[in-house]
Amino acid sequence: MSHESRCKKSRFQTSVKPMWQSSIFFVLLSLLCIPFIDLELAHTSPLIELRKMFDGLLHPNFIIDGVIDALLHTVFFAIQAVVLSSLVGFCIAQVYRLPGIRALMAFLRSIHELFWALILIQIFGLSSLTGMLALAIPFCATFARVFAEIQQETSKEAYHQLKGKHLSRFIYTTLPLAWPRISSYCKYRFECALRASVVLGFIGLPTIGYQLDSYLKIGRYAEVAALIFIFIGLVLSMRFWANRFTMIILFTFSIILLPPTTPPESTSEDNVKMAYQLLNDITPTPIRNRSQNEIISDTQLPSLLWDWFSPVLESQILPGVGYSLLLGQFAFALSAFLTLLWFPLISKHLIKRRIYRNIGYFVLTAIRCIPEFLLAFIALILLGPSLIPGIIALGLHNGALLAHLVGQYSNELKLRSDTSTAPNLYFFELIPRIYGQFLAFTLYRGETILRETAILGILGIPTLGFFIDSTFEEFRLDRAFILILASAFLNIFAEQVSTLCRKHIHAYKPSLISR
């Protein structure tokens, strides 16, 4: 064997072995978690509800009061948040390497938009400012990370050849090279913002989600189907209207028609008072009591804090973290399985006729357009409260998204003209070539999957979000704040694990649009 052949064989072994090691690890982990998951379904009659849903799907009722207003709120919240967060995120990306910036951004994006909304409602109420900021705060952190990585990956050859100050060299060299990826990611993030804007309606903000929540609760599936079709049509048509010119026009109209402000009866002084009251409410009860009662000494405070914290840890944080990890693990496994099952729908190597690939593209886009929160809501109606609706919802949504990305990547591959046909083409030609990219995409989405498990708790699934929502309803904001922190640290932990796994398998870094 020649030296060149030995080198190629060595590189192949070092790249393939970690990939299969990681895959086997996640499969075994899923199998080991099976005994801990609640597989019991509620004793309901899902066929009756399915029949009603199917009838509503066939006969959607598009005559809905206030649907135009709800649609405008959905789009305006999303576009204002994306414009603001992309500008702020771009500025932060320039100093992303400074000490503390990376950690701060990781913390901000680890808290879900829905939790930011629950916090901001305490200050600004159900206002347009709440809706915009709830999306913009975590999006700023996400944009900062992605833009920093895009700039890091952009070639610096022209930058170093050009003389002058850093700003001028950056504008004339790095920025033009990175701009296509920045623009593409902003468009993808706008789609994410639309889905997140819908979810905000489930806690009272006047988006499409508010109407979906109302009609689902009373079983009016004709209106539910119409609203879902409207939203899917909105996302599918983005390729025709979501460009730099229309976005500028939409943003201008959104500022005129729905400026991000507090309710008219609320003054800035009231907002300051509410912010101060929120800070007081999230302070642990023993510390708050000590400030009001000087009898409590410094030596007594630690024991009082532990007495306050230990019930939260035992009855809420530990069970919530356990169920979140279980739900995240099985949703991650289902997403990976569906990705490998569905990506052939848009792969030109497996489906030759373009019309059939377009149908596959439509199906995958339609599934990923529906927010996980809504999918879980529907699954809960059919299957009752357990982890299974959450697994199905997260698996379907992320499986469709990953299948779209992996299918697009497979279309970039160039195969020999004498390649075999399916199924040999699938198993022996495509899978070995896309597997590293598939793992990298899936690990990126794994971070998001665990983050989304928390908000499903608002529907009654016993993740951390269930306990967070309960404490907000009971107005025990000190406990809610601790639970949100626990959720944030869990998501940061998942992000670190995902990063270590990607480094272990030495996977080629995917396009950041996957996030």
Question: Left (φ > 0), alpha (ψ -120 to 50) or beta: where does 506 sit?
Answer: left
Indicate whether 354 and 434 sit together in one domain. yes
Residue 11 maps to a domain: no
Compute and round to an integer the Cα radius of gyration of the chain: 24
Indicate whether 85 and 164 sit together in one domain. yes
Q: If you average pLDDT over every residue of the chain, what do you get?
A: 84
Indicate whether 347 and 481 sit together in one domain. yes
Residue 22 maps to a domain: no
For residue 312, pLDDT over 80 is answered with yes
Q: Report which of residues 166 and 492 the model is more confident about.
A: 492
Residue 403 maps to a domain: yes
Indicate whether 131 and 203 sit together in one domain. yes
Q: Distance between terminal CA atoms of the chain?
A: 43
Indicate whether 414 and 470 sit together in one domain. yes
Determine the angle formed by the axes of helices 221-236 and 46-58, rounding to 10 degrees. Answer: 60
Count the Cβ atoms, other than its own, within 10 Å of residue 256. Answer: 8
Instruction: Quick: pLDDT tens for 75-115.
Output: 999 999 999 999 999 999 999 888 889 889 999 999 999 99
**Token pair belonging to 162:** 């050009």
State mean pLDDT over 299-328: 88
State mean pLDDT over 377-389: 82
Instruction: Quick: pLDDT tens for 262-293.
Output: 887 777 888 888 888 888 888 888 787 766 66
For residue 512, pLDDT over 50 is answered with no
CATH of the domain at 339: 1.10.3720.10
Q: How many percent of the chain have pLDDT more than 70?
A: 89
pLDDT at residue number 10: 39
Indicate whether 36 and 159 sit together in one domain. no
For residue 504, pLDDT over 70 is answered with no
For 39, residues 6+ apart whose C-beta sits below 8 A from its C-beta are 386, 388
pLDDT at residue number 244: 82
For residue 296, pLDDT over 50 is answered with yes
pLDDT interval class at 2 (50, 70, 90): very low
- What span, in angstroms and rounded, lies between the C-alpha atoms of 469 and 460? 9
Q: Report which of residues 264 and 228 the model is more confident about.
A: 228
Indicate whether 404 and 462 sit together in one domain. yes
Indicate whether 39 and 91 sit together in one domain. no
For residue 437, pLDDT over 90 is answered with no
pLDDT at residue number 265: 78
Indicate whether 145 and 107 sit together in one domain. yes
- What span, in angstroms and rounded, lies between the C-alpha atoms of 419 and 433? 14
Residue 36 maps to a domain: yes
pLDDT at residue number 494: 85
Instruction: Quick: pLDDT tens for 30-45.
Output: 778 777 776 665 555 6
What sign has the CA pseudo-torsion 128, 134, 140, 146?
Answer: negative
Residue 55 maps to a domain: yes
Q: Report which of residues 49 and 350 the model is more confident about.
A: 350
Indicate whether 223 and 334 sit together in one domain. no
- Report how many domains make up the chain: 2
Indicate whether 280 and 205 sit together in one domain. no
Residue 15 maps to a domain: no
Report the predicted TM-score, pTM, of the whole model to 2 decimal places. Answer: 0.84
pLDDT at residue number 293: 60
pLDDT at residue number 9: 42
Indicate whether 283 and 231 sit together in one domain. no
Q: Can you say how many angstroms the Cα of residue 97 is from the centroid of all Cα atoms in its chain?
A: 24
Residue 295 maps to a domain: no
Cβ atoms of 165 and 226 within 8 Å: the answer is no
For residue 425, pLDDT over 80 is answered with yes
State mean pLDDT over 232-236: 88
Residue 7 maps to a domain: no
Question: Left (φ > 0), alpha (ψ -120 to 50) or beta: where does 494 sit?
Answer: alpha
Instruction: Quick: pLDDT tens for 449-496.
Output: 988 888 888 888 888 888 998 898 888 888 999 999 999 999 898 888
Closest to 72 measured CA to CA, from 183, 180, 210, 185: 210
Segments forming the whole domain that contains residue 390: 27-59+271-290+301-515
**CB burial readout 328-354, b (16+ within 10 A) else e:** bbbbbbbbbebbbebbbbbbebbbeee
Instruction: Quick: pLDDT tens for 134-160.
Output: 999 999 999 999 999 888 888 878 887
For residue 5, pLDDT over 60 is answered with no
